[in-house]
Amino acid sequence: MWFIQQGNYWRFLKLRYNRAPMKNTSYDLIIFDCDGVLVNSEPLANQVYVQILEEHGHQVNSEEYMREFSGASITQRLQVTSQKLNWTPPSNFTSTFQERLAELSMQVLEPVPGIHELIESITVPICIGSNGTRSEILLRLKLANLTEFFGDAIFSGLEVPHPKPAPDVFLAAAQSFNIPPSRCIVIEDSIPGVTAGVRAGMKVYGYAAFTSAEMLQAAGAIPFANMMELKSMLAR
């Protein structure tokens, strides 16, 4: 279930509002993507994905795959790749990918620079809207020391009818907090994620780490270069 249990919902509201004095804002909820926004996991996922493809005899351009699949779920990656390569992935591809990515994450995963400071400055409820699985999100939050900020306020694109670039996961988050989409902000770093936020009717900020500011802006986001810049933008 993607709805937050009522007790947890109010617990998170209390946590967020009691951390700092409230001020008037144009938004009531901030929805964070996970991979690439909270943690530097996108390069790790791409590395593992390309390595497994190579083990199956497919040499691909790692940089191109990084740009193309940033923000995509493993299911979406495989659908596109199998069509491009005219290849049927083995049945254990996804489980192998997830296991290896978890192992690599345990070794080298880091939070995005400045993300702790940004979250500490926010005075409205926050949650996560990601195309990753719930177990993946929970592991990454734990490794990046971010669990306390989000707890159960996690929405997976694999637990709604359609993942990003469909708006479902963001709309599910807004509905759970009983906040209109127009009062929500989305923090994304990929074109599918920005597209999902725009389709949900939300204001979107785009982190220009692996996707150019020009591309993010063209998709409908307000680009930013780092979390300290976003902190200033949200405070205006």
What's the confidence (pLDDT) of residue 21? Answer: 39
Once rounded to an integer, what is the mean pLDDT over residues 155-175?
A: 97
| pLDDT 10s digits, 27-77 | 999 999 999 999 999 999 999 999 999 999 999 999 999 999 998 889 999
Tell which residue, 105, 106, 97, has the closest CA to residue 74. 97
What's the confidence (pLDDT) of residue 24? Answer: 61
Once rounded to an integer, what is the mean pLDDT over residues 83-95?
A: 96
DSSP summary character for residue 182: G
Is the fold of 6-40+110-235 the same as that of 42-108? no
Among the four given CATH numbers 1.10.3720.10, 3.10.20.30, 3.50.50.60, 1.10.150.240, the one describing domain 42-108: 1.10.150.240
Lowest mean pLDDT segment, chosen from 22-31, 38-47, 183-192: 22-31
What's the confidence (pLDDT) of residue 149? Answer: 97
CA distances from 211 to 167, 168, 188, 206, 223 (A): 20, 22, 10, 9, 10
Tell which residue, 206, 212, 236, has the closest CA to residue 224. 206
Percent pLDDT > 90 in the chain is 86
The CATH architecture one would assign to domain 6-40+110-235 is 3-Layer(aba) Sandwich (3.40)
Does the pLDDT at position 145 exceed 70? yes
What is the pTM (predicted TM-score) of this model? 0.86
What's the confidence (pLDDT) of residue 147? Answer: 97
Once rounded to an integer, what is the mean pLDDT over residues 98-109?
A: 96
* Structure-token pair, residue 1: 């279930």
Residue-range domain boundaries for the chain: 6-40+110-235, 42-108
